[in-house]
Amino acid sequence: MTAEQTVPGCPVDDSFDPLSPEFLSDPHAVLANLPQQGAPVFFAPRIGYYVITRHKDIEDVFKDPATYSAAVAQAPLVPLVPEAQQILLAGGHRPQPSMVSLDEPEHARLRKPAARAFSMRRVTAMIPAIEATTGKLLDDVAAEEEFDLVAALAYPLPATIVFSLMGVPEQDHPRLKQWCGYRAALAWGRPAPQDQVEIATNMAAYRKYLRDLVDKKTQEPGDDVTSDLIAIHEENPERLTLDEIASILFSLSFAGHETTTGLIGNTVRRLLEDPARWAEIADRPELIPKAVEESLRYDPSVPVWRRVTTRPVTLAGVDLPAGARLFLWLAASGRDATAFADPDTFDLHRPDAERHLAFGKGLHYCLGANLGKLEAQIAIAELARRYPRLRLAPDQRLTFHPNISFRGPQALTVQAR
Ligand code: HEM
C-alpha cells in the first residue's frame, strides 16, 4: 500500500516502522516522539496499516466485531515465500486457521467449546502444578549468583503448564518447545525466506503432533483439556470435529506461551528497575496482582493487535474505507493520558490499571487471561520470597524478538546475591 491510498484528513508517518531497531528497543520513546504527536489515527505506509493509539478508540473497535473483522489478526505482515506457504498448507495450517482470526458465526463454533473446556475450575486446579513447576525451576538455579530469569523461569514455566493442561506427556515437552520456537516471526515479523521455511516445517510437525494427540486421547482419555473437548465432540460429533479440536489446541498453546513469558519478563524487569519497588513487593506480596495489572498497562506483552474494516466507517474523526487494516497499538492505549492519570509512571498503587486493553475486549477477549495472570503472580511471589534483594545485573542491553505482537526481554540477567 502507498501513501496515495490513505484517506483525506488522515496524517501519514513515512518513518513509522514497528520492526525497526529503535522501535524494538523502546517503543514508548517512539510513541512520545511521533511527528504527528497526539494524532489518534495515522497511516504507516511501511506496513500498510492505520495506527490507532487512543484507549477509547481501540475499545470501540474491539466492541464492534461486525465493523472491525478479526480476519487479519494472524495475517503475515509480509507475504510468505511460496515454499513456506506450501509447507504450511500441506501441514494443515490454513491461512485462517484459528479462533482468534475468525468472525461470527465460525468463531463461536470454536470459542464456546474451548471456553467450556478451559474453565475456571480447570485453571484453578493448575495452581499446585504452577507452584511446583516454579519451585523446581528456581531450585535448578539456586546455586547461581547470577542467572537469566527468562531461560530459568519465564520461558519454561508457561510452556510446561500449557502442555500439561493439554495432556501432553512430559517426555514430549522438549520436542514441543523446540517446534514452538519463534512461531511469532511468521505472522508478526519479517523473517528471511530460509527462516520462513524452517519455521513452517516446525509448525507443520507441531500440527501433526496435535492431531495425533487428539486421536490418542480418544482412545485413552485423561484429566485434561483435550479429553474435555473430545467429550464435547462425543456428545455431538457435528458440533465439534476432531480437526477442530486440534485447531483449538494449536490456538491455546500458541496463545498461552510467549504471551506469558513476556508478561513475567516485563513485570520482573519493571519491578527490579526500582529497588524500592521490589522491596515493597517482597514485603507486601499482596500487591503482586496489582503489579501484574500495572505491567500489562505500562508494558504489555502483547503490545499490538490487528483488525480490518468490513465497511466504510468514521474512527476518531477519520473516514476509513472498507478493507482498511488497523494496527491497534495496545501499548499506546495504556499510556493514553485521557485514560490513565500520569500514564508514564509505573505505579504499584494505581487504582484502575486493570482497565488496560492488554487482553483485548469483547467476543475475542483472551481466553487465558486468568491463567496467564496466575502464572505471573505465582512466579513473582516465589521469586520475591526466595530473593527479597534480587537485582538487575548492571549494564545489560535488553534485546527483543523482531515481531510486532509479542514483547518481552529475550534475556534478563538478575543477581541473586
Ligand atoms: C498472559 C499474557 C497474555 C496476553 C497479554 C494475551 C493477550 C491476548 C490478546 C490481545 C488477545 C486478542 C483479543 C481480541 O482479539 O480481542 C488474546 C486472545 C486469546 N488468548 Fe490470550 N493473552 C495472554 C495469555 C494467554 C494464555 C495463557 C492463553 C491460553 C492458554 C491465551 C489464550 C488466548 C486465546 C485462545 C485467544 C483467542 C480468543 C478468541 O479469539 O476468542 N492467552 N490474548
- Convert the pLDDT of each residue in 328-343 to its tens digit: 999 999 999 999 999 9
Q: What is the DSSP string of 128-186?
A: HHHHHHHHHHHHTTTT-SEEEHIIIIITHHHHHHHHHHHT--GGGHHHHHHHHTTTHHH
pLDDT in tens, 150-183: 999 999 999 999 999 999 999 998 888 878 766 7
Whose CA is closest to atom 20 on ligand 1? Answer: 366
pLDDT in tens, 235-273: 999 989 999 999 899 888 888 888 999 999 999 999 999
What's the confidence (pLDDT) of residue 88? Answer: 76
pLDDT band, very low/low/confident/very high, at 106 (cuts 50, 70, 90): very high
pLDDT band, very low/low/confident/very high, at 37 (cuts 50, 70, 90): confident
What's the confidence (pLDDT) of residue 212? Answer: 95
- Centroid of chain to Cα 193: 24
Is the CB of 302 within 6 Å of ligand 1? yes
Whose CA is closest to atom 12 on ligand 1? Answer: 360
The Cα–Cα gap between 134 and 122 comes to 18
Residue whose CB lies within 8 A of the most ligand 1 atoms, among 60, 63, 122, 259, for a mutation test: 259
Is the CB of 339 within 6 Å of ligand 1? no
Is the CB of 154 within 6 Å of ligand 1? no
Q: How far is the CA of 187 from the centre of ligand 1 (A)?
A: 16
pLDDT, mean of residues 38-47: 93
Q: How far is the CA of 359 from the centre of ligand 1 (A)?
A: 6
Spatial CA neighbour of 18 closest among 10, 8, 26: 26
| Mean pLDDT (the chain, rounded) | 92
CB 189 within 8 A of CB 24: no
The pTM for the full model equals 0.94
Residue whose CB lies within 8 A of the most ligand 1 atoms, among 354, 366, 380, 406, for a mutation test: 366
CB 87 within 8 A of CB 200: yes
Q: How far is the CA of 7 from the centre of ligand 1 (A)?
A: 32
pLDDT, mean of residues 94-112: 83
Is the CB of 104 within 6 Å of ligand 1? no
Is the CB of 256 within 6 Å of ligand 1? yes
Whose CA is closest to atom 8 on ligand 1? Answer: 359
Judged against a pLDDT cut of 80, whether residue 370 lies above it is answered with yes
Whose CA is closest to atom 42 on ligand 1? Answer: 368
What's the confidence (pLDDT) of residue 95? Answer: 44
